Amino acid sequence: VIKRADSTEAGNLLNTCFLLKDICKSRGGIGRKIRYKIKTMTNRNLRIKCSAFRKVKTIAFSTDVTHGHFGSATVAFSALQIAISLKFERIIFSGLDLKGGCKRFYNEVNAQPTTLPADLSFILRSFSYVSIHYDGKIYNLSPQTAIPYDVIPFINTEEVACSTSY
C-alpha cells in the first residue's frame, strides 16, 4: 500500500500506522539462500529457512517486528510474531482451527475468497518452524484444529482461568 501511495498519503501512513515490512521473499533460490543466511547471522531476531530451489517456499519468523515480519498465508502467524516481539510470557490463540476446509468461523453473506486450504501445508510448516526455534509458551484454545498439539499445545479455558504459571 505504501509503495503505491503518493508522498502525502505515504507520510500520513508513516505518521499514523505501524507498518510491518517483509523480512524476505516467499520463494527460495541460491542467491536468496546466501543473503538470508547472512541476514540471520547479523540479526539474531530473524530465523529464516530458505531452500536453494526457487519452487520451495521460504519459512521465516521474527522475534522483533521492528526488523520486519514474515507472512505465512494467515494473519495468525503475523499476530504471533507481534506477540513475541511484545515479549508476552504466554501467548494463547483462540480460534486457530484451520479445519473443515479452512472455512471462516463467522457467517458471511459475500464471503471473500481464501487461499487457506491451498496454503495449509505451508502454514503448518511455518508454525512447526517457530515451535522448534522459539522457546516461549504458545498455546491453542481450539479443541479441534489442523495444527498438531505437539506444535502448539492445547490449553483449555479452565487451565487458563485457574493458573498463571503457563
Residues 123-133: pLDDT tens digits?
Answer: 999 999 999 99
Query: Average pLDDT of 39-63?
Result: 91
Q: How confident is the model at residue 61 (pLDDT cuts 50, 70, 90)?
A: very high
CA quadruple 154, 157, 83, 13: dihedral sign: positive
Q: Are residues 134 and 163 in the same domain?
A: yes
Residue 135 is assigned to a structural domain of this protein: yes
Q: How confident is the model at residue 20 (pLDDT cuts 50, 70, 90)?
A: low
Is the pTM higher than 0.75? The answer reads yes
Q: Are residues 92 and 163 in the same domain?
A: yes
Residue 100 is assigned to a structural domain of this protein: yes
Round to whole Å and give the CA distance between 85 and 14: 20
Residue 47 three-state SS: strand
Which of 70, 103, 135 terminates a domain? The answer is 70
Looking at the 3D structure of the chain, how many domains does it have? 2
> What is the average pLDDT value for the chain, to the nearest integer?
84
Residues in the chain: 166
- Rounded to a whole number, what is the largest CA-CA distance in the chain? 51
Round to whole Å and give the CA distance between 102 and 115: 9
Residue 81 is assigned to a structural domain of this protein: no
